[in-house]
Amino acid sequence: QVQLVESGGGLVQAGGSLRLSCAASGTIFSINAMGWYRQAPGKQREVVATITKGGTANYADSVKGRFTISRDNAKNTLYLQMNSLKPEDTTVYYCNAVVRAPVGYVEVWGQGTLVTVSS
């Protein structure tokens, strides 16, 4: 069974920075695309940033220039460096990955980590 575990969320003042991490564990042959998503209460989950196995990144317009997604394929770990945080970035952030496991390709979600930005 493949699991994703996020860490790094917390409380920060506006203008501050946080770094989220997402570690994949289990029997993993390879990981294709990975991404960070967020979901505010009562709203749909939205993409924040995605990254291919080769390192090509894409960002939501709302975070371009402030957030940086990266991955360490050797460690099966995904990162999100968040700078110049704004109160509207406050919500739960989820890690996502498409993993090649013994059963085939599976899409896996983490449990979420809360980011709170105070004004």
Query: What is the percentage of the chain residues whose pLDDT exceeds 90?
Result: 97
Asked whether 6 and 96 are in contact (CB, 8 A), the reply is no
Asked whether 85 and 15 are in contact (CB, 8 A), the reply is yes
pLDDT tens-digit series, residues 68-77: 999 999 999 9
When pLDDT is cut at 50, 70 and 90, the band that residue 9 belongs to is very high
pLDDT at 112: 96
Asked whether 111 and 5 are in contact (CB, 8 A), the reply is yes
When pLDDT is cut at 50, 70 and 90, the band that residue 115 belongs to is very high
pLDDT at 62: 97
> Structure tokens of 27?
């029997």
Say which amino acid occupies 96. N
When pLDDT is cut at 50, 70 and 90, the band that residue 89 belongs to is very high
pLDDT tens-digit series, residues 18-65: 999 999 999 999 999 999 999 988 999 999 999 999 999 999 999 999
pLDDT at 3: 96
